[in-house]
Structure 1
């Protein structure tokens, strides 16, 4: 992916990486949350801050015209997170088939440039190493410990 990532920061509670989406519809507060789902596997959630409730949700669609930059930011945060916690694994699935497809497109675009990460895809009840142009239902990303 040939896009710069947005600047991001870890919040004071160390629960979210926060950044701003800046695009055709304005500025939106976004966050990435990592939640333990099972032994050393953390779910990644891409969240938007609801301007009314001030809560973070994964149900909104901002359609801000900056999806490539947002996805580059997600990849940068994944790298940062796995550099901090190299033994953890990140589970990634969209809250809809179209969002999972967006994640797949982003992974496909960077798959040749991420030697520091290993990506697995889940399909037909099994995990296999990510292959471009093959459809997957979810993804698992780990730090490549080969230096």
Structure 2
């Protein structure tokens, strides 16, 4: 990534913490990479959430608006790329908690596509029947800018 990232701290095997610093102050964020429930699975899910210190729990519904979205997304992307480096046979699933967040992720991927290492690939999940009103027909394709996706899958080539 060409933009600066925040320093992350690994707090458990696949959980990382960092602070967003911006117009709303300092906000603790977490990146949680969890394995699919099946023991032999190569699928992992990446969750990016705000840490609620009062409840001592995560919250993926808060709209942060701290003025540092590019730096936050760069930090999450950097953590995902480091995870793939140490888990090259894995597939990392990424989807926002709502369509607006997924769209923000997509814009970040598009904006910094040239910074993605050549050994990593990204697939986008789309509904082939979205425009004709039929039941969804989900399909993974290689990520293309200008196409709206419902989720993303990071893999090692």
Question: Please, what TM-score do these two structures have when normalized by structure 2?
Answer: 0.86
User: What are the within-5 Å matches in structure 2 for residues 55-74 of structure 1?
Assistant: 55-74=57-76
User: What are the within-5 Å matches in structure 2 for residues 24-39 of structure 1?
Assistant: 24-37=23-36, 39=41
Q: How many residues align?
A: 143
2:131 counterpart of 1:118:
no
Report the 3-state secondary structure (helix = DSSP H, G, I; strand = E; otherwise coil) of the residue aligned with 1:98.
helix
In structure 1, the residue matched to 2:10 is 10
User: What are the within-5 Å matches in structure 2 for residues 117-136 of structure 1?
Assistant: 117-124=120-127, 125-136=138-149
* CA drift at 1:14: 1.7
Q: Using the alignment, how far apart are the partners of 1:41 and 1:128 within structure 2?
A: 17
Q: Using the alignment, how far apart are the partners of 2:60 and 2:26 within structure 1?
A: 17
> Deviation string for 1:42-98 (max 9, x for gaps)?
111001111311212212121111000000001110111111111111101111110
In structure 2, the residue matched to 1:20 is 19
2:2·2:115 contact (CA, 8 Å) conserved in 1? no
Question: Pick from 80, 89, 109: which aligns with 2:111?
Answer: 109
In structure 1, the residue matched to 2:153 is 140
In structure 2, the residue matched to 1:78 is 80
Q: Using the alignment, how far apart are the partners of 2:82 and 2:103 within structure 1?
A: 23
Q: Using the alignment, how far apart are the partners of 2:5 and 2:104 within structure 1?
A: 16
In structure 1, the residue matched to 2:134 is none
